[in-house]
Amino acid sequence: MKLPDENKLEKLKKRRQRIAFIILGTIGYSIVAILISILTFIIVKGISVISWDFLTSMPEEGMTKGGIFPAILGSFYLVTGSIIVAFPIGIMAAIYMNEYVKHGTAKKIIKQMTNNLAGVPSIVFGLFGMALFVNKLGFGDSIIAGSFTLGLLILPIIIRTTEEALKSVDDTFRQASIGLGASKWQTTKNVVLPIAFPKIITGMILSIGRVSGETAPILFTVAAYFLPRLPQSMFDQAMALPYHLYVLATSGTNISESRPMAYGTALVLVVIVLFTNLLANALRKYFSNKVKMN
Amino acid sequence: MIKLETINANVYYGASHALKNISMQLESNTVTALIGPSGCGKSTYLRLFNRMNDLIENIRIEGEILIDGKNIYQKGTNVDSLRKSTGMIFQKPNPFPKSIFENVAYGLRVNGISDAAFIQERVETSIQQVALWDEVKDKLKKSAFELSGGQQQRLCIARALAIQPSIILMDEPTSALDPISTSKIEELMYELKTKYTIVIVTHNMQQAARVSDKTAFFYLGELIEYSKTKELFTNPKIEKTQNYITGRFG
């Protein structure tokens, strides 16, 4: 058999390598390009309306003038409310799964259900929230109904990130504590949770990003088209950024005039989400330096 | 005096037979080294004495495991108080994410002791026992993570001593440490054995030879040879032991 010419073979290999590299590189960079163009688009279109007034005043003249303060405030209420609902439940569920029932049917069932919950479309959460919190429990369209609905939505995220955080705690910490005569609960409370804390916080912040952007779950449970005054209690309706954006873009009194306001709202929303993600990263770094594992 | 004893101890992880019929007596105020290649069962054997194996799923333990002549696997044994009488030291130094002081105080606090003066006294004595006091006395409130690896490991020993155990179980306590820190821990073991019964699992045969009074060689879940350290290393009775300590396998 004649061996192929070594020079030719080398050239061929190099050319193929270059082609593969170019294709993969192009795809990789085009993803960055897509993100940047979305951001640029929103910034360019929206930056003109951004002002202190825009952030702090009520909408005026059929939402073609004025600001989006009630929507920002409403989103803030909803984020806070849903965290208050989901955080304790999620953490406790994760502790139960990871620390108490290491294996076995109970864990499998909870885990499977959590995954299923994560896969439910958010509009279904909205419908469920309307049926249960708005109607059955009689909260009406309200911040509390919206917070519960969004809380259910992010529950799987919180359970999962908490579970990951707990799993990452080296088992010898548990053994050392139990070896000193501590109970499982003492061990979890005093040793495992403090070590896992940075990662748990990260999960919480990521879910803030998720909550602030969700529209479907708040559609039937809390969001108002327009409110002339700010919510007075948690049983009031509220405006919220994503829904406000939808209203401005599709069903305002004068869509073409409120278009810049829509882009401004989108910009605010995007900035909030990006900011929370950056904050999550920064906190994770900060804490992992502080609680240095060796 | 016999402090620890196992009679026909068998351990199964699911289908695998990890310890086979181990009968052995360990004397008080001695250092007993458990040596053997990875997976030989020496760590599993060590963990019989504080029932740390109980935390593993699908484990089955048979035979008698005795401390001071009492079977610790008998029904009605208070596992928490059993674990209080045994201190455990791990391969990697694992101080809790707490201050140096609170690390040592932890065992006292979880056992319901709240007398501040008593805790203060116990913490101080324990840290002195591991010869760490001069290095940390001015920074007891600082995080234990600020200590070096060797200091952390001594702190972990102090943490175990604080609850006044009579047995110290060490699972490769120096394998993550530098030579100087290692020799400090070894010196410490020499002093501690006057008060405690020490069992150490080690991969390092020089270490076993240096620190222990008796050595047990485990291989594939079986106890191959158990005798005075000097004898085992200079004049092993069994060929497998000979091969292992001369580095022919392992």
Q: What is the pLDDT of residues A202-227, one digit of tens each?
A: 888 888 888 888 888 888 888 877 88
Contacts of B57 in chain A (CB under 8 A): 102-103
Q: Scan residues 8-67 of B and list those with Cβ closer than 8 Å to A.
A: 50, 52, 55, 57
pLDDT in tens, B81-102: 889 899 999 999 999 989 999 9
Neighbours of A43 (CB within 10 A): 15
The span from the CA of B161 to the CA of B81, in Å, is 14
A282 at B interface, C-beta within 8 A: no
Mean pLDDT in residue range A55-62: 80
Q: Which amino acid is at B116?
A: A
Mean pLDDT in residue range A64-72: 83
Looking at residue A291, its pLDDT comes to 58
Write the ipTM: 0.87
Contact B145 A186 (CB under 8 A): no
Work out the pLDDT band at A251, boundaries 50, 70, 90.
confident
Intra-chain end-to-end CA distance of chain B, in Å: 33
User: Which residue carries 């879940």 as its tokens?
Assistant: B221
Contact A178 B107 (CB under 8 A): no
User: Which residue carries 């005026």 as its tokens?
Assistant: A60
Looking at residue B104, its pLDDT comes to 96
Residues A260 and A244 sit within 8 Å (Cβ to Cβ): no
**DSSP 8-state symbol, A5:** P
pLDDT in tens, B150-164: 999 999 999 999 999
**Model's pTM, two decimal places?**
0.79
pLDDT in tens, A138-170: 888 889 999 999 999 999 989 989 999 999 999
Residue of B nearest to A293 (CA): B145
**DSSP 8-state symbol, A228:** S
Contacts of B98 in chain A (CB under 8 A): 194
Contact B110 A181 (CB under 8 A): yes
pLDDT in tens, A277-292: 888 888 878 877 665 4
Contacts of B102 in chain A (CB under 8 A): none
Work out the pLDDT band at A294, boundaries 50, 70, 90.
very low
Task: Pick the closest to residue A205 from A156, A152, A157 (CA basis).
Answer: A157
B201 at A interface, C-beta within 8 A: no
Residue of A nearest to B157 (CA): A176
Looking at residue A1, its pLDDT comes to 65
pLDDT in tens, A253-281: 777 778 888 899 999 999 988 888 888 88
Task: Pick the closest to residue B249 from B36, B45, B44 (CA basis).
Answer: B36
The span from the CA of B31 to the CA of B198, in Å, is 5
Work out the pLDDT band at A293, boundaries 50, 70, 90.
very low
A287 at B interface, C-beta within 8 A: no
pLDDT in tens, A173-207: 999 999 998 999 999 999 999 889 888 888 888 88
Task: Look over chain A and give the mean of its residue pLDDT values, rounded to a whole number.
Answer: 87
The span from the CA of A223 to the CA of A248, in Å, is 14
Looking at residue A286, its pLDDT comes to 81
Neighbours of A180 (CB within 10 A): 28
Contact B57 A177 (CB under 8 A): no
Task: Pick the closest to residue B97 from A201, A191, A176, A288 (CA basis).
Answer: A191
The order of strands in the sheet holding B222-228 is: B86-89, B167-171, B197-201, B31-35, B214-219, B222-228
Task: Give me the residues of chain B with pLDDT under 70, please.
Answer: 249-250
Residue of B nearest to A189 (CA): B110
